[in-house]
Chains A and B, each alone.
Chain A
């Protein structure tokens, strides 16, 4: 069983479209994260979310929004996609001050 799974693994879409990336975890962790890894391989946090609080990195455009239907899922919705949104997006989970576990990533390409 994969601990943190993301779908799709690859996503190619046109500018202006709206898309979602799904993330599911079976670890029972109470915190989930979304990260963006750009072409320079720098991992930048976008959101930190547990069932009580959403912390948003203020540099993230409001076209990006996390949606959590339940504790095991944190999906990423992106509206009006732009070329600069092309990157690899990683979902991760954590509990307390223990290590975070990462999904395999979703490579988003906006054309």
Chain B
């Protein structure tokens, strides 16, 4: 069974304080690893897809990286509007998308 573990569960940062979120995974035939952002009362919103170890993607203050066992979401100089729950998910060879428990990020001004 595929497993996705995210840490920390919650993270409080001051505005401008950079940090990283971790996603560890075990999956049968990785077809892709995805990062999503979820705001309260809304569905997950897609951020990045990573397909192979060594791959990196960037978008504004966010950068996602991938190894064979884990992925990191780096947040550089975060702003209060970056506050949300960040979800990691893996897609396996059988087309099942499994999510981790998420990291709730709070950025204080």
Contact = CB atoms under 8 A, between A and B. Distances in A.
A4 B85 CA distance: 21
Contacts of A41: 38, 85, 101-102, 104
Counting from the closest, the 7 A-B pairs by CB-CB distance are A102-B43, A97-B31, A43-B99, A99-B46, A97-B32, A102-B44, A42-B101
A13 to B, nearest CB: 20
Interface size class, chain B: 20 to 34
B85 A99 contact: no
B97 interface: yes
A103 to B, nearest CB: 6
B43 A48 contact: no
B25 interface: no
Interface of A: 4, 31, 33, 35, 40-45, 48, 50, 55, 90, 92, 94, 97-105
Interface residue SS majority, chain B: strand
B72 interface: no
Interface string B22-60: 000000000110101010011111100101000000000
A101 B46 contact: yes
Interface in B42-96: 42-46, 49, 51, 85, 87, 89, 91, 94-96
Contact of B46 (A33, A48, A100, A103): A100
B20 interface: no
Contacts of A103: 43
B43 A104 contact: yes
B51 A45 contact: no
